């Protein structure tokens, strides 16, 4: 079973920011991001340094928008796709903020936000920042092939988002409230195709959503939207089919961050976006602003992650997956 925690004090997301690359700002969310880097290196000497720069920018902007100073943040929860989470490490190393590294693959933003909310709700701390990032070039270099290779992409493949998102979570303050979180369990449906991550992650998303509803007593009708990230077009369809097997229809309210950030017909991203920065960017550029403006009243933000590595892939292992859930309301 997933572990559902109802948050009695409903921590506030008082500041949030998204910083992305050129391709992401050419999609449907153009103009909604807090920062855009048109150079894949962000003026740095490597793609990895560029990812660090994006993450730092998102963190600083979120803190500024919350009306806080950096020294008011008591703990930072952050993660990325790079080995040993070096993106988050180098982004935070000069901040003097106590840091807790997070890793849940593409579910990392939901994982970081859920942990921050639990810490703040318990009044262990007053404020925290949750963040995550990814970069197309750093992910391709680490997980797949040399960029110059130009290998054939299949329709179920996804495009790693170059982006970062950050949220300041506080005991009090304006902004959307977090009313519950649910930490998912690892689900392995014995999928082995690294070019079809959506199929690997959809069962984990179904598991967490179903168990959350069962644990909390809440109904699908309570929510305006369910946002997953990042199943892509293929995985999103599979999730709806799997939920139907449980006699739960989410097809009218489900959207996936991987299909929101890109125009699948125009941008040649196959099944959509992926990476820690995908759901993080969409959360901070679209979902939270719409909650703040009252366009959305109550949503489920469900981060999904494929828990594989280069080593496990090379050894022919299956792709276990996980999903973490955050219940957010206006």
- b/e string for 44-81 if b means 16 or more Cβ within 10 A? beebbbbbbbbbbbbbbbbbebbebeeeebbbbbbbbb
CA-nearest of 173, 276, 254, 164 to 206 is 254
Q: One fold for both 11-170 and 177-329?
A: yes
| Residues 39-60: tens digit of each pLDDT | 888 888 998 999 999 999 999 9
Q: What is the dotted CATH code of the domain comprising 11-170?
A: 3.40.47.40
The C-alpha atoms of residue 122 and residue 15 are separated, in whole angstroms, by 20
Q: What are the structural domain ranges in the chain?
A: 11-170, 177-329
- Residue 290, pLDDT above cutoff 70: yes
- Residue 147, pLDDT above cutoff 70: no
Helix axes 197-216, 232-245, angle to 10 degrees: 40
Q: What is the dotted CATH code of the domain comprising 177-329?
A: 3.40.47.40
pLDDT of 151 reads: 59
pLDDT of 42 reads: 85
Q: Within 13 Å and on the Cβ side, how many CA atoms surround 318?
A: 11
- Residue 205, pLDDT above cutoff 60: yes
Alpha helices in the chain (DSSP H): 22-25, 47-65, 86-92, 108-121, 136-139, 197-216, 232-245, 257-260, 276-282, 288-292, 310-314
User: What is the residue whose two structure tokens read 């730092």?
Assistant: 56
- Residue 2, pLDDT above cutoff 80: no
Helices (H) and strands (E) in the chain, counts: 11, 14
CA-nearest of 12, 6, 3 to 179 is 6
Q: Residue 144 — pLDDT band, cuts 50, 70, 90?
A: low
Decide if 157 contacts 270 (C-beta within 8 A): yes
């Amino acid at each position: 079973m997933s572990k559902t925690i109802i948050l009695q004090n409903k921590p506030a997301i008082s500041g949030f920011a998204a910083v992305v690359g050129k391709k992401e700002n050419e999609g449907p969310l153009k103009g909604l991001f807090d920062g855009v880097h048109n150079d894949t290196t962000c003026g740095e000497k490597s793609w990895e340094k560029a990812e660090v720069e994006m993450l730092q920018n998102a963190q600083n902007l979120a803190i500024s928008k919350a009306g806080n100073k950096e020294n008011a943040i008591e703990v930072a929860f952050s993660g990325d796709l790079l080995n040993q989470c070096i993106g988050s490490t180098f982004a935070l190393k000069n901040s003097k903020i106590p840091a807790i590294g997070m890793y849940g693959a593409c579910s990392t933003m939901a994982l970081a936000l859920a942990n921050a909310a639990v810490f703040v709700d318990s009044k262990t701390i007053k404020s925290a920042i949750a963040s995550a990032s990814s970069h197309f070039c750093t992910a391709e270099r680490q997980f797949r092939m040399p960029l110059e290779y130009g290998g054939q992409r299949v329709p179920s493949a996804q495009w790693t988002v170059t982006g970062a998102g950050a949220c300041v979570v506080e005991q009090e303050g304006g902004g959307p409230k977090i009313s519950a979180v649910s930490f998912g369990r690892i689900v392995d449906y014995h999928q082995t195709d690294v070019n079809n991550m959506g199929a690997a992650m959809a069962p984990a998303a179904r598991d967490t959503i179903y168990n959350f509803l069962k644990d909390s007593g809440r109904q699908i009708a309570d929510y305006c939207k369910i946002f997953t990230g990042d199943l892509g077009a293929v995985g999103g369809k599979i999730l709806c089919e799997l939920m139907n097997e449980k006699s739960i229809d989410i097809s009218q309210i489900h959207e996936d961050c991987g299909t929101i950030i890109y125009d699948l017909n125009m941008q040649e991203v196959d099944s959509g976006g992926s990476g820690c920065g995908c759901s993080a960017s969409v959360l901070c550029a679209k979902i939270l602003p719409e909650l703040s403006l009252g366009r959305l009243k109550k949503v489920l933000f469900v981060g999904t992650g494929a828990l594989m590595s280069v080593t496990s892939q090379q050894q022919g292992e299956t792709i276990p997956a996980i999903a973490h859930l955050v219940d957010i309301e206006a």
